[in-house]
Structure 1
C-alpha cells in the first residue's frame, strides 16, 4: 500500500499529465450523459457508461505513472 501512495505522490511526466486531463474530461462527459435529465436512447446511455469507465481507468493509470526509476 505504501508503494502505491508513493507512486501517486511522485512527479508525473508531462505526457501523462495530459492523458490524465483527457481522462478526467472523458469521465466528466460520460457522467454527464449518464445523469442527463432527459430520456436518451439506450445506446447513448451505454456508450456514456463506457466513456466514463474508460476515463476513470485512463486517469488512474496516468496518475500512477512516475519518472522515479528507483521503485
Structure 2
C-alpha cells in the first residue's frame, strides 16, 4: 500500500496531466447533464453516464504515470 501512495505522489508527466484534466472535464460535463433539471432524452443521459465512466478511468489511470519509472 505504501508503494501505491508513493507512486501517486510522484510527479506526473505533462502529457498525462493533460489527459487527467480532460478526464475531469468530461466527468464534470457529464455530471451536469445527468443532474439537469430540464427533461433530457434518455439517450443523452445514457451517453453522459458512459462519458463519466470514461473520464473517471482516464483521470485515475493517468494519475499513476510517473516521470522517473525506468531511471536509476
Alignment TM class, shorter chain as reference? over 0.9
The 5 Å alignment of 1:26-65 reads 26-65=26-65
Aligned residues: 70
Q: Which runs of 4+ in 1 moved over 6 A?
A: none
Give the CA RMSD over aligned residues. Answer: 1.0
* Rounded Cα–Cα distance in structure 1 between residues aligned with 2:8 and 2:15: 16
**Deviation of residue 30 (structure 1)?**
0.8
TM-score between both structures, scaled by the size of structure 1? 0.92
Distance 2:54 2:69 in 1: 27
Once residues 52 and 35 of structure 1 are traced to their aligned partners in structure 2, the CA distance between those partners, rounded to angstroms, is: 12
Alpha-carbon deviation of 1:4? Answer: 1.3
How far is the alpha carbon of 1:66 from its aligned partner? Answer: 0.6
Matched, 1:25 2:25: yes
Shift of 1:28: 0.4
Shift, 1:68, TM fit:
2.5
